[in-house]
Amino acid sequence: MGHINIEIKAKCDDHEKIRKILKEKGAEFKGVDHQIDTYFKVGNGRLKLREGNIENYLIFYEREDREGPKQSNVILFKTFPNSEIKEILKKSVGELVVVDKKREIYFIDNVKFHIDIVEGLGSFVEIEAIDKEENIGKDKLLVQCNEYLGMFNIPGGNLITNSYSDLLMKE
């Protein structure tokens, strides 16, 4: 299943403020997921296997590394815990890095919010405006992301340009 999203990732030490705003806006809380994202060595884009108690996917995505809202072209493949796919990928293309995080997941309509604590990196918030049916459009997704960015009052200096995997590899 492929889709586009516009996303923002930022350092955030005040998770309580984000939770309060999400609650006020009527966000649907999906739960807390302990996710292990294993990134693999690929020629283009990013390929990761997400293993969690809520979300389990093989995810391929292409995205620019820049501050602020950025478009991702995403292909998801539903997986199941303890499948052989991880070993197949490790042996065939090689493991790049592993991201271990605790993630709170919320939704307001088509917008997904993550409150993350990433081992070795710290605390973050993510905003993902998602268009699964290709009927919302990139412009509206961008407006949605910017609206919540302003609502959360996230300083520009806290915006992250690249993925957790890139940040961990720099450490």
Res 60: pLDDT:
95
Res 104: pLDDT:
98
Res 136: pLDDT:
86
Contacts of 48 (CB under 8 A, 6+ apart): 37, 38, 39, 40, 58, 59, 99, 165
**What is the value of pTM for the model shown?**
0.91
Amino acid, res. 118: V
Series of mean pLDDT values for 10-residue runs along the chain (171 residues):
84 96 97 97 95 95 80 91 93 97 97 97 96 85 92 92 90 75
Res 89: pLDDT:
97
Domains assigned to the chain: 2-170 (2.40.320.10)
